[in-house]
């Protein structure tokens, strides 16, 4: 249930951005989730919905886009897309791998509303 | 009604990672090697530390230990070093960098050379959160079965060292295939140092201690 930790940080960010723009509503939030964070989308959505319930972002749609793993072989420098359970370099056969993508959770975009229904 | 889309592109983990970076800077400045110890509940993290600390020198070791509830691990580890702080996470299934900051505030780090951060027992969530450690260590007890590296690859992918624990029990485990663990590690993280230990008997502790000492020099 690290989804709750992630949702808490996400909602903090979201509410800060909404306040900065004077928004009175949030229609949509898009997050990119690295697959190595092993986020269970339903758990993240459940936590998100619970956390925004009493806020300006109540009812916002949370869109979760998975980000695949990308890696670079430390031995030969080859970049490749490993499976989550197989990091063997297709060139040199070593599994000494630096993960370059797929570990982060990124707030990509938000869609905001103002009191009169116009965009801020 | 028109909504305005704002592109943000900001890491949700940024707040945690900033605190983690500060923890790391603080411990590096204090000459402390911080080791994040992760595994499932019951893999032997606490006993390993109870046996490791006296061998390294008790006054040079400190421990932050995370559990949902109880101070039982801190009480056990208190027999090995007085510098122990229990972090109760309540419902949290992993430690976060700010919890480690609070733990550091509670410890006198003068003279400490090794800080062990015993994470909450869990093979999934701790792997995703930087605490500010210098090294990550994953434990896997033989009683958990020989298939767990493949089932929980992310934990082992981030590990600098993997300890196969409770190897004194191998004789009573029918059908356990040790080579399967090694095969899986070689496919997921061939850089990890692998040690076989039995903290109860002391078997295999020397190479692990040598590795720890070497990390301070590295």
Q: If you search the block for the tokens 């039995």, which residue do you land on? A: B198
Task: Give the three-class secondary structure for A75.
Answer: coil
State the residue for tokens 């500060």: B22
Res A65 pLDDT > 80: yes
Overall average pLDDT of the B93-106 stretch: 96
Whose tokens are 């090794």? That residue is: B114
Contacts with A85 from chain B: Cβ below 8 Å: 150, 153, 187-188
**Residue A86 touches chain B, beta carbons under 8 Å:** yes
Kindly tell me the burial class for residue A53, based on how many C-beta atoms sit within 10 Å of its own C-beta (0-12, 13-18, 19 or more).
Answer: exposed
Q: Look at residue A120 and tell me whether its pLDDT is greater than 60.
A: no
Question: B183: pLDDT confidence band, cut at 50, 70 and 90?
Answer: very high
* Per-residue pLDDT at A103: 92
Asked if residues B9 and B86 have their Cβ atoms less than 8 Å apart, the reply is: no
The answer to whether the CB of A1 falls within 8 A of the CB of B125 is: yes
Report the first-to-last Cα separation within chain B, whole angstroms. 59
Contacts of A25 in chain B (CB under 8 A): 3
Q: What is the dihedral of CA B153, B158, B161, B163, to 10 degrees?
A: -30
pLDDT tens for each residue of A81-113: 999 999 999 999 999 999 999 999 999 999 999
Q: Do B6 and A110 touch (CB under 8 A)?
A: yes
Residue in A21, A95, A112 nearest the CB of B186: A95
Q: Chain A: give the shortest CA distance to residue B19, in Å.
A: 13
Q: What is the pLDDT of residues B37-47, one digit of tens each?
A: 999 999 999 99
Mean pLDDT of B55-79: 94
Give bridge partners of residue B88 from the DSSP assignment: B67
What distances in angstroms separate CA A62 from CA A33, A48, A107, B5, one per listed residue? 12, 8, 11, 14
Q: Is the pLDDT of residue A4 over 70?
A: yes
**Nearest residue to B162 (alpha-carbon basis) of B125, B183, B130, B189:** B189
Q: Are β-strands B161-165 and B193-196 bridged in parallel, bridged antiparallel, or unpaired?
A: parallel
> What is the predicted pLDDT for the residue at B6?
93
CA distances from B106 to B53, B82, B102 (A): 19, 12, 7
User: H helices within B118-164, ranges in order?
Assistant: 148-151, 153-157
Strand ranges across the sheet with A70-73 = A79-80, A70-73, A97-101
| 8 Å CB contact between B15 and A11 | no
Q: What pLDDT was estimated at residue B95?
A: 95
Total-model pTM: 0.92
Which residues of chain B neighbour A95 with C-beta distances below 8 Å?
186-191
Confidence of residue B106 (pLDDT cuts 50, 70, 90): very high
Task: Please give the structure tokens belonging to residue B135.
Answer: 């090294």
Nearest to A7 by CA among B82, B92, B144, B69: B92
pLDDT band at A119 (very low <50, low <70, confident <90, very high): low
Cα(B17)–Cα(B47) distance, integer angstroms: 30
Only one residue has tokens 């009812």, namely: A59
The yes-or-no verdict on residue A55 having pLDDT over 70 is yes
C-alpha A6/C-alpha A12 separation (Å) is 10
- Copy the structure tokens of residue B48: 């390993």
Average pLDDT, chain B: 95
pLDDT of residue A104: 93
Residues in B touching A37 (Cβ below 8 Å) = 128
Please report which confidence band the pLDDT of residue B59 belongs to, taking 50, 70 and 90 as the band edges: confident
% of chain A with per-residue pLDDT over 90? 92
Residue whose C-alpha is closest to residue B89's, from B58, B61, B122, B114: B122
Q: Map tokens 């930087």 to a residue.
A: B130
Cα–Cα distance for residue pair B141/B136, rounded to 1 Å: 17
- Mean pLDDT rounded to a whole number for chain A: 94
Cβ-based contacts of B4 with chain A (< 8 Å): 21, 111-113, 119-120
pLDDT score of A116 more than 80: no
* Residue B91 clears pLDDT 90, i.e. is over it: no
Residue A117 has pLDDT above 90, yes or no: no
Hey, of A20, A38, A40, A47, which one would you mutate to test binding to chain B, going by the most B CBs within 10 A of its CB?
A38
Q: Which residue of A has its CA nearest to B160?
A: A96
């Amino acid at each position: 249930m690290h989804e709750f930790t992630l949702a808490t940080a996400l909602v903090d960010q979201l509410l800060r951005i909404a306040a900065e723009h004077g928004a009175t509503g949030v229609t949509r939030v898009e997050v990119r989730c690295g697959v190595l964070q092993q986020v269970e989308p339903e758990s993240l959505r459940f936590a998100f919905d619970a956390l925004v319930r009493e806020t300006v972002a109540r009812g916002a749609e949370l869109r979760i886009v998975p980000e695949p793993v990308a890696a670079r072989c430390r031995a030969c420098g080859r970049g490749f897309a490993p499976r989550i359970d197989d990091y063997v370099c297709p060139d040199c056969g070593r599994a000494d791998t630096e993960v370059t993508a797929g570990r982060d959770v990124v707030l990509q975009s938000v869609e905001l509303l103002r009191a009169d229904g116009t965009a801020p | 009604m028109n909504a305005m889309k704002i592109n943000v592109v900001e890491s949700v983990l940024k707040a945690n990672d900033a605190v983690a970076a500060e923890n790391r800077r603080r411990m590096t400045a204090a000459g402390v090697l911080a080791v994040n110890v992760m595994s499932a509940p019951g893999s032997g993290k606490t006993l390993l530390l109870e046996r490791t600390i006296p061998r390294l020198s008790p006054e040079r070791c400190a421990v932050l230990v995370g559990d949902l509830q109880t101070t039982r691990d801190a009480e056990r580890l208190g027999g090995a070093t007085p510098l122990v702080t229990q972090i109760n996470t309540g419902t949290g299934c992993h430690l976060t960098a700010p919890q480690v900051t609070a733990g550091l505030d509670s410890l006198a780090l003068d003279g400490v050379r090794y800080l062990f951060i015993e994470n909450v027992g869990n093979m999934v969530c701790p792997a995703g959160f930087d605490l500010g450690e210098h090294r990550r260590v994953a434990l896997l007890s033989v009683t958990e079965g020989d298939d767990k590296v493949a089932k929980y690859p992310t934990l082992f992918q981030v590990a600098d060292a993997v300890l196969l624990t409770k190897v004194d029990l191998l004789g009573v485990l029918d059908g356990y295939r040790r080579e399967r663990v090694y095969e899986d590690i070689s496919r997921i993280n061939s850089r990890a140092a692998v040690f076989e230990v039995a903290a109860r008997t002391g078997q295999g502790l020397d190479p692990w201690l040598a590795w720890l000492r070497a990390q301070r020099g590295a």
